[in-house]
Every structure is written in C-alpha cells, then in structure tokens.
Amino acid sequence: MEDELYLENIDEFVTDQNRIVTYKWLSYTLGVHVNQAKQMLYDYVERKRKENSGAQLHVTYLVAGNLIQNGHICHKVAVVREDKLEAMKSKLATIASVHVYSIQKALLKDSGPLYNTDYDIVKTNLHNCSKFSAIHCAAAVPRTSAEVPQVQTSVQAGSQTPSDTNAVSVPVVNGHGPSTAKQTAQQPKGIMGMFAAKAASKPQDTNKETKAEAKEAPGVSAVSSKPPAKGNIMNNFFGKAAMNKLKVNSVPEQPKEEKEVVKPSVPVAEPESSPSPVVEKPGKKTESARIQQKDKKSKMKRMDKSDNEEERVPENLKKKRKRIKQLQSDSSDEEDVPPSPMPEEEKAPSPPPVPALKTELEPASTEVSAGGKKRKRKRVLKSKMFIDEEEGCMVTEKVYESESCTDSEDDFAKSKPPAAQKQPVLPMRKEPKEERKNLKKGAATANRANKQVSIMGFFQKK
Amino acid sequence: MFSEQATPTAQGLLAPPSAEASTFTRVPVLAYADCSQPFRLGERSFSRQYAHIYAARLIEMRPILEERARQKWGNGVALRKLCELRAGEKCCVVGTLFKAMQLQPSILQEISEEHNLVPQPPLPKYIHPSDELILEDELQRIKLEGAVEVQRLVTGTIFAVYGSEQDDGKFLVEDHCFADLPRPLPWNGPSSDRFVLLVSGLGLGSGSGDSLLSTQLLVDVVTGQLGAEGEQSCAAQISRVILAGNLLSQNTQSRDTINKAKYLTKKTQAASVEAVKMLDEILLQLCTSVPVDVMPGEFDPTNYTLPQQPLHHCMLPLASAYSTLQLVTNPYQADVDGIRFLGTSGQNVSDIFKYSSMDDYLEILEWTLLAGHISPTAPDTLGCYPFYKSDPFILTDCPHVYFCGNAPRFQSKLLKGEHGQQVLLVTVPTFSTTQTACLVNLRNLSCQPISFSGFGTEDDD
C-alpha cells in the first residue's frame, strides 16, 4: 500500500543511504506536500521506535511559538534536537507549531548539515520551489516573455552591434576583460578585423612553423565575416603598402604569417569593390598608427591573453579561422599555389593607390616605427650593383638598406612595388646608411634572429 | 499577534499522514502603489554645487517652520531673516543648522600639506564638547548659544529659534522648534489581519554560515513550508516582504583589485558575485510565493549616494522573471494595502548616530520624523545627489509605518501626533547578527519581532 511505500523509502534513505532526511528533502523527493512529508517522518519515527526501541534514530523538531522577551512578545521559530524539545516548549508562552524537521542516523552537532541538505534540494528544484508548499500565491506568475525583452532591449542593443569588433577589441585591449565594442565605424572595423584574425590565429598557431606566402593584402583583410568589402579593400592596400612602410623591431613575425595564411580565402569569399580607397587612406593612416600601437601591446601581452580564456574571440570566428587554416596548412605546396593567384588579384586594383599610399605612409611610418608592430623596417645587407659614372665601371657594394617587410613572405609579393619605390630612395640614403652600418648591423642581426627560417627564404629579394 | 490562532492545531503534524494536505492561498494584494518617484533619478549630472540642495531645503521648509513658530510663540512673533536682525530684539529666525565639529573628517585637512596629518581613523562618534552651532539662512550665518542642545543636533536640520541677538554678535536662544510631524494621511487600512515582513541586513556572502539556516527558516516560514497548519495559514496572511538593505555582507566589499597586484587578482571573482547568486536563489524562493520589495543598502551593488537606485534586474535573472519582485530605491515609500510605508536602509540614522549624542536608533528615527527630514546630514556627511530643484527627503506626508533597516536591535513605538497622526516607528535589526525580522500587522499598526534559530554545539538552554 501507499502507506508502506513511503515508510520503506524513508527507511532506505535513513538507514541504508545514511542521509539526513529533512521534511523538505522528502517532500521534493517523493513529490508530496510538505505537511504530508512532515507527517510521514513522524509516522516513521513512531513506528520504528515501537518496533525497535534501540533504533539508531536522531530526530530534530521545529518548534514555533510566542516568547516574552524584553517586554514584547517575540515569535520564535527554532530547530531543536529531540533532547532539547521539551525545554524549548516550556520556554515558549504559547506554542504555534511543532513538527518533525529531520531524521538522521547520526547525532548532529549543529544545524549546518540540515541547511546543506535543504540548500541542495532546493537548488536542484529551483524552478518549482513552491510546488509543494502550503501557500499558493496567485500573483506569483513569471513575467511573460513579451515584458522581459522590453527591459532588456536597450541593454542588448549596445552589445550586439559589431560582435566582430568585439572579437577584435578583445585581443587588442591589453589583458583586460572583453571591452565593449567601441569601433563602430566601418573603417576601423576592417582594420580591427585584421587584428582579430591575427590575434585569433596567434594562440592556435604558436606552435606551428608554417610560413605563409606573401599575402600582405589579403592576409590583412579581416577574417571575420562581417567587415564589408570596403574594409577589405582598405586592408588590402593597407597590408601591402603600409606594411612595407611600417616596421616593428621586436614584434615577432610569426603571427603575421599565420594571419596571412588565414586571410587568403576570405577575399575569395567577399567580392571586391573599390569604392574610394583614397578617401579611406587618410583615415587608415591614423587608424593604422593607432592600431599598430595596440597591436604591439597585444603582442607583448600575448602571454596574458593566453591565460585569459574569457577573452578569446568568439567561437564562430575561431572555428572559421581554424577551418581556413587547415585548408592552407595541409601541405606546403598548396600554400604557394592558392595564395599566389590571390596577391596578383589583389594587386591589380591596388597598385594605383599603393604608391600614393606608400608615400603618405612613409612619414607616418617613421613615427609609428617607434612603437610599431607588424611591419618591420629592417636594415638588410644587400649588394648593390651600379655603374659608377666617374670611373665608368660597375661597382658592387654591400650596403644596408632600409626596407619594410612583415616577414620574408612579404618580400616575395612586394618585390615588384617596393623595388620600384626603393630605387629613387637608395641614392639618397646610401651615405648615411654606410655610416650607420654598425648600428644597423646589430639591428639587422637581431631582426634576423627573431625571424624564423621559412621556406620563402628562397624567394628573398635581392 | 501572529500565529495566535495556530495554537490549537500546533501539534497537528505529529500524526500519521492525512489524506489531503491543506493549501492556503496567499492574501491577495489589495492595493499597492509605489510612491518613491521622487527618489528615482533619471539623468544625473554632478556638475552642480551642493549649495542648491540647502537652498531648496530652506525654501521648502520655511513656510512650515514659520507656521509652527506662530503656533508655539504666538501669532505676533517677529519672523526675521538674519540680515534684518537688530540687537536685543526678540524674534524668531528660521534657518539651516550647521554644527562646527572639530573631529569631523575633513578632506581638506587630510590633503593639506602644512598640517602633515595622518588621515583620521573612523570613530564611532565624532562629537566633541567644543562643537558649536551656527544658524545659516540664505545670506548670513550667526552663532547660536543658549537653550540649544548642541550635542543632539546635526548639520542640515532646518529649525526655528526664538531669542535675540547679543552684543557680541551671537544669538541667544531661548527656545527652538522643529517642523514637527507632517500632515496626516487618511487611514485605509485593512479590516482583517495582514502582515508585512520587514527584514534587513541579510548579509549574504559573509563567509560565515551562522545565519544561513536562519535565513532559510525565514524563507520557509514566509513561503509556508515550515510550521504546522495553523502557522502556515497565518503565514498566508503575510502580504508583502520588504528587504531593507544590506542584502550583501560587508565582507563582499573588499577592494582587492585596488590594493593587490594585478597578477594576484587577475582571475579572482569579486566576492559579491557569489553573494548575488545566493541572493537570487533566495529571492526566487520568496518571489514564487509573496510579493517582495528589495531595497539596496550600504553594501549592495548600487550607487553610493542617497537616494540609492534600485538594484539592476540583470543581477537577479532567476527572480526577475517573476512580477512579484520589485526592485526599489532607498529610501522607499509605498502604499501597501492602504498603509503608507516609508523607510530607509539605515544609512541616514547611522550617520546621525555618528554626529550626535543620541544613541538610540529609535530615538533618532523619531527625531528625524519630528525634524521633518529623512536625512538632514546629507549632503554634509552622508553622500547625496546634488539636487537643486527640490529636496526629496523632506517629509510632506506623515507615513503610517516609518522604518529604518540595519539597526543593532529591534525596537518599535507607536507615535501619536497632535493632528491625529499615528506612526509606527520600527527599527529593523540586522538579520545576520540577530536573526530577527519584524512583522507589522497592518490592521492595528502593531509590530512583532520574529526570530529564528538553529542549534549548535554550545547550545545549553
């Protein structure tokens, strides 16, 4: 019968499982009204004691009543052990209720375990915590879903806008929690996207030694799907030309490589358009300077970032990059082939703005190189051959010339435009360069030490 | 009294299970109106000086005080402004009180280089025998002496003094008066027993589990899980629960992120996060059964200055799903079932406690009611928003229940006014230390403490 069933259950809980069976716990477990649970516990205690007077059962009771204290009537509610029950009852002027609170095998020293039991069972039943209660409140209905969003819309509106920039700004901001998406302009979006891609791929590929081909332009464009094609274009020539100009001393090249590997597929997905690169250029200049600063910081604190799981870019971006990466890194051969058509494509629209941008960026780059990041300006020992006018002979000289390259892969793709630009620069720079050879040597060797050997070393610029 | 009718069936549950378990319906909300609109701040601008709030206070309270002065000292009493004072003439002046206190912490002194002072440690009371009272009005100020209790009064009180100016430029006070109780509100109370539970100082997140069981017992009594049937039916008459501040413990206020190095605190969560989660669960249990009003307190995650704005609902995702949860301001004013409640989380009273010789929280509470202002020490020693149009802390209507939270112990008093005002003054004790809450019976404005306890190893009674 039903009666016996609950007795057996309680018996099992108390003796076999050695649990503390509180009325609330029993009520939730058996799905009965709290008052019935209390009565069940009482019944169990009575029967057990009748059968077996030496039963190892400790009971706690709840006593509630009025107490005269300090001149006013205080209503007291107390959980007491069985041995203190009568003492408490005698203290109260009037008793409002007495019932069994819990049954357990062991003697409880204090009421802590009772609280824990109740807490656990309530926690697991939070959604219907008043189901078995003796009071039912008609007003306690959950708000309809229509009302709730009204309160939350304003909160969400701010946070939903560029979630991609969210991803971007997260790694960029130094070691702090994910900052709110600040950049809403499209231009910065594109630039930030570029950084997002780089930063995201960083943790993934820190181990990888794969070198990307020269993908400066497509490499730089944002991987995240959101940035518009406009931003892409900017990133394109930003990567190509600007990276030539802007050099960083200490920034490792590896992240750039990875980024570039990742990038190539994205431009394929996004259609290219050339709205007005010129207009965007000045904007980009300042942005690039700023971004480079941030990027440097982000690189410096890469250790920080790897610690902070919360600051990881969103899952989707990560996955996307992973996917793209795998396409690229399958075999080194493939690396060359797919990317190489890319840069040529990119270069087609971009060469016209590139030289202009280069000249613009040059002054900017000199300022930025102090704190610069991805784009390095290195002094590279090169042998130059020219015809000496005076003596009418060919002279081959080893000179240090300053060139900007993100890594060796950049050299490959940039060979055409940078080479064209460098020629006029060279004669002016030669003398000072020779003087500063010693200084540059150190820098160059340092750069070379930082730089990792890559397969693209074969395609070094002469 | 609560649960008196429960006595006959007290032992009813010491019996084998009955077939049907009775369920009681919570008394429905007869009438509820939130009157704390003046305490809600919209756009906040802190680019104002605090002088405006004093000006607004004086302008608003001057007519009331002049009326009182006429009542007390006759219709013919001369009401003068300070600039119109003539030496030796007996007159009445209405102004703002300023108490010059030697021990009052002053930021200017602290940062002054010439004094080279170490910042003063916080004292329980900042009164000193050498304190002086100064009366200010719109244009001038004058030192007061005579029949004024310097120690009892605090800065910011508007009151009227009757006396005369002396030759030395001080004002000799013969008598003074306050604004007294504001006009009474009509009585619309319920005819049957209805209770409102006042709790304050839950102190979650304190790291010590002493009061956790008591908190759970409180929730269980209110939601009708605990107690025999009689008690449960009485608990069903609790129509509202007001949590008056300090839901979180002071321990959650540690500012490790400021003091410690970043690498130590990088991944540590603020202590208040866990505490708020616990609060959310407790509120959920309460909200499924009874309407709850949650007031923020000194240690709660909301703004510091009075009036404190409601806690944000995003912190309480589980409980905010229920419309029975109301997040309200501190101070809080509402019409509950026809009874006007007004109360704070205790910052105003504890601040007056620090700067005056009054020791009893109930006495201070009564004094603020008689002075006609909830917290006169704001903005001088208690943080306050720079109001300029009006001072929302001025009492315009006399509440029926006037409470303050986080008091050291439970006290209550029924104050009767000359014009038929009846006010129940309640000091709600801090639950985390006293495990006591207050039950206010709306039918007859009586209050009863309700306390909870578990048992411990040292229990001997």
> Within a 13 Å sphere around the CA of A404, how many CA atoms are in the beta-carbon half?
27
Give the pLDDT score at A461: 67
Q: Please check whether residue B334 lies inside any domain of the structure.
A: yes
Residue A211 — pLDDT band, cuts 50, 70, 90?
Answer: very low
A91 interface with B at CB cutoff 8 Å: yes
Residue A16 — pLDDT band, cuts 50, 70, 90?
Answer: confident
Containing H/E element for A289?
Answer: helix A277-300
CA distance A110 to chain B (A): 4
Residues spanned by the domain of B406: 26-43+183-252+269-451
A99 interface with B at CB cutoff 8 Å: yes
Q: Which residue has the tokens 């130590």?
A: B264
Q: Best-predicted range by mean pLDDT among A30-34, B113-117, B367-371?
A: B367-371
State the average pLDDT over residues B275-300. Answer: 91
Q: Are B120 and B148 in contact (CB under 8 A)?
A: no
A94 interface with B at CB cutoff 8 Å: yes
Does the CA dihedral B360-B366-B369-B370 come out positive or negative? negative
Q: Are B102 and B127 in contact (CB under 8 A)?
A: no
Phi, psi (deg, nearest 5) at residue B345: -85, 10
User: Using omega within 30 degrees of 0 as the cis cutoff, is the peptide bond preceding B379 cis?
Assistant: yes
Considering only CA atoms, which of A12, A8, A75, A81 is closest in space to residue A43?
A: A8
Are residues B207 and B132 both part of a single domain?
Answer: no
% chain B with pLDDT above 70 = 95
Work out how many domains chain B is built from and give that number: 2
What does R_g of chain B's alpha carbons equal in angstroms?
Answer: 24
Residue B1 — pLDDT band, cuts 50, 70, 90?
Answer: low
Are residues B168 and B215 both part of a single domain?
Answer: no
Give the pLDDT score at B178: 92
Residue A191 pLDDT > 90, yes or no? no
Length of chain A: 462
Residue B212 pLDDT > 80, yes or no? yes
Are residues B322 and B411 both part of a single domain?
Answer: yes
**What is the tens place of the pLDDT at every residue in A120-130?**
888 888 888 77
Are residues B221 and B315 both part of a single domain?
Answer: yes
Of B63-77, B222-236, B248-262, minimum mean pLDDT range:
B248-262
Using a CB-CB cut-off of 8 Å, the residues of chain B touching A46 are 16
CA distance A274 to chain B (A): 44
CA B220/CA A396 separation, integer angstroms: 94
State the average pLDDT over residues A13-24. Answer: 87
- Alpha helices by DSSP H, listed for A330-371, are 332-336, 341-347, 353-368
* DSSP one-letter string for B280-332: HHHHHHHHTTS-EEEE--TTSSS-SSBSBPPPPGGG-TTGGGBTTEEE--BSE
Using a CB-CB cut-off of 8 Å, the residues of chain B touching A140 are 287-291, 322-324
Q: What's the Cα-to-Cα distance from B216 to each of A122, A268, A385, B102, B209, rounded to whole Å? A: 10, 61, 88, 46, 11
**Residues forming a β-bridge with B232:** none
Residue B424 pLDDT > 90, yes or no? yes
Q: Which two tokens stand for residue A48?
A: 């057990």
- CB–CB contact A100 B14 (8 Å): yes
Distant-in-sequence, close-in-space partners of B131: CB < 8 Å, separation ≥ 6: B99, B100, B101, B102, B150, B151
Q: Which of B25, B234, B313 sits opposite A138 (nearest CB)?
A: B25
CA A337/CA A329 separation, integer angstroms: 12
Q: Are B291 and B29 in contact (CB under 8 A)?
A: yes
Domain boundary among B154, B177, B200: B177
Are residues B375 and B290 both part of a single domain?
Answer: yes
CB atoms within 10 A of CB B327: 20
Are residues B364 and B416 both part of a single domain?
Answer: yes
Q: Which two tokens stand for residue A270?
A: 């996004």
Q: Can you say how many angstroms the Cα of residue A98 is from the centroid of all Cα atoms in its chain? A: 55
Of A32-41, A281-290, B66-75, B221-230, minimum mean pLDDT range:
A281-290
Q: What b/e readout covers A397-419, taking b as 16+ CB neighbours within 10 angstroms?
A: eebbbbbbbbbbbbbbbbeebbe
Find the closest chain B residue to A6 by CA distance: B17
CA B207/CA A16 separation, integer angstroms: 33
Residue A312 pLDDT > 60, yes or no? no
Q: Are A17 and B5 in contact (CB under 8 A)?
A: no
B17 interface with A at CB cutoff 8 Å: yes
Using a CB-CB cut-off of 8 Å, the residues of chain B touching A73 are 1, 448
Find the closest chain B residue to A141 by CA distance: B322
A159 interface with B at CB cutoff 8 Å: no
Q: Please check whether residue B339 lies inside any domain of the structure.
A: yes
Q: Please check whether residue B457 lies inside any domain of the structure.
A: no
Q: Which two tokens stand for residue B64?
A: 């009331």
- CB–CB contact A60 B455 (8 Å): yes
Residue B403 pLDDT > 90, yes or no? yes
- CB–CB contact B10 A97 (8 Å): yes
- CB–CB contact A139 B291 (8 Å): yes
Q: Please check whether residue B170 lies inside any domain of the structure.
A: yes
pTM of the complete model: 0.65
Using a CB-CB cut-off of 8 Å, the residues of chain A touching B22 are 35, 134
Q: Which residues 337-396 on chain A approach chain B with CB closer than 8 angstroms?
A: none
**What is the tens place of the pLDDT at every residue in A425-437?**
444 444 444 444 5
B270 interface with A at CB cutoff 8 Å: no
Give the pLDDT score at B78: 86
Task: State the best of A43, A97, A119, A303 to mutate against chain B, taking most chain B CBs within 10 Å.
Answer: A97
Residue B266 pLDDT > 60, yes or no? yes
CATH number assigned to the domain comprising residue B431:
3.60.21.50
Give the pLDDT score at A264: 42
Q: Which residue has the higher pLDDT, B259 or B319?
A: B319
B28 interface with A at CB cutoff 8 Å: yes
Q: Please check whether residue B281 lies inside any domain of the structure.
A: yes
CB atoms within 10 A of CB A316: 13
**What is the tens place of the pLDDT at every residue in B310-324?**
999 899 998 888 888
B460 interface with A at CB cutoff 8 Å: no
Using a CB-CB cut-off of 8 Å, the residues of chain A touching B452 are 76-78
CA B360/CA B404 separation, integer angstroms: 12
Domain boundary among B132, B151, B177: B177
Q: Which of B2, B10, B236 sits opposite A75 (nearest CB)?
A: B2
Are residues B189 and B212 both part of a single domain?
Answer: yes
CA distance B401 to chain A (A): 18
Give the pLDDT score at B19: 73
B347 interface with A at CB cutoff 8 Å: no
Task: State the best of B25, B225, B458 to mutate against chain A, taking most chain A CBs within 10 Å.
Answer: B225
Given strand B339-344, what is the order of strands in its sheet?
B32-34, B332-336, B339-344, B401-407, B422-429, B411-416
Q: Can you say how many angstroms the Cα of residue B440 is from the centroid of all Cα atoms in its chain? A: 16
CA B278/CA B284 separation, integer angstroms: 10
Residue A179 pLDDT > 80, yes or no? no
Domain boundary among B150, B177, B204: B177
- CB–CB contact B226 A77 (8 Å): yes
Q: What's the Cα-to-Cα distance from A334 to each of A228, A263, A351, A453, rounded to whole Å? A: 27, 15, 26, 19
Q: Which residue has the higher pLDDT, B218 or A162?
A: B218
**Residues forming a β-bridge with B327:** B294
Q: Are A132 and A31 in contact (CB under 8 A)?
A: yes
Find the closest chain A residue to B11 by CA distance: A98
**What is the tens place of the pLDDT at every residue in A66-96?**
888 877 888 999 998 888 888 988 888 888 8
- CB–CB contact B289 A33 (8 Å): no
Q: What b/e readout covers A359-376, taking b as 16+ CB neighbours within 10 angstroms?
A: ebbbebbeebbeebbbbb
- CB–CB contact B289 A130 (8 Å): yes
ipTM score of the complex? 0.85
Are residues B229 and B361 both part of a single domain?
Answer: yes
Q: What's the Cα-to-Cα distance from A349 to each of A203, A233, A272, A404, rounded to whole Å? A: 33, 9, 9, 21
Residue B343 — pLDDT band, cuts 50, 70, 90?
Answer: very high
Q: Which two tokens stand for residue B401?
A: 């229940």
Find the closest chain A residue to B239 by CA distance: A137
Give the pLDDT score at A335: 41
Does the CA dihedral B293-B297-B299-B303 come out positive or negative? positive
Give the pLDDT score at B56: 92
Q: Please check whether residue B37 lies inside any domain of the structure.
A: yes
Give the pLDDT score at A182: 42
Q: Which of B1, B23, B455 sits opposite A111 (nearest CB)?
A: B455
- Outline where DSSP puts E strands in A216-320: none
CA A149/CA A354 separation, integer angstroms: 49
Taking each continuous run of H as one helix and of E as one strand, the counts in chain A are: 22, 7
Three-state secondary-structure class, residue B186: coil
- CB–CB contact A140 B223 (8 Å): no
Give the pLDDT score at A355: 45
CA B299/CA A389 separation, integer angstroms: 84
**Residues forming a β-bridge with A378:** A403
CA B426/CA B433 separation, integer angstroms: 17
Q: Which of A73, A109, A118 sits opposite B457 (nearest CB)?
A: A109
A81 interface with B at CB cutoff 8 Å: yes
Q: Which amino acid is present at A306?
A: S
Are residues B137 and B228 both part of a single domain?
Answer: no
Are residues B304 and B203 both part of a single domain?
Answer: yes
**What is the tens place of the pLDDT at every residue in A325-382?**
444 444 444 444 444 444 444 444 444 444 444 444 444 444 444 444 466 677 778 8
- CB–CB contact A134 B232 (8 Å): yes
Rounded-to-10 torsion of CA B32, B38, B42, B43: 180
> Within a 13 Å sphere around the CA of B380, how many CA atoms are in the beta-carbon half?
19
Q: Please check whether residue B16 lies inside any domain of the structure.
A: no
Give the pLDDT score at A251: 43
Task: State the best of A73, A135, A304 to mutate against chain B, taking most chain B CBs within 10 Å.
Answer: A135
CATH number assigned to the domain comprising residue B72:
2.40.50.430
Are residues B35 and B64 both part of a single domain?
Answer: no
- CB–CB contact B7 A62 (8 Å): no
Q: Which residue has the tokens 């839901």?
A: B247
Of A53-67, A277-291, B3-17, B145-159, minimum mean pLDDT range:
A277-291
Q: Please check whether residue B173 lies inside any domain of the structure.
A: yes
Q: Best-predicted range by mean pLDDT among A307-316, A329-338, A443-452, B1-10?
A: B1-10
Are residues B382 and B423 both part of a single domain?
Answer: yes
Distant-in-sequence, close-in-space partners of A210: CB < 8 Å, separation ≥ 6: A257, A258, A261, A328, A329, A332, A335
Q: Which of A76, A79, A132 sits opposite B455 (nearest CB)?
A: A79
Give the pLDDT score at B426: 94
Q: Are A73 and A66 in contact (CB under 8 A)?
A: yes
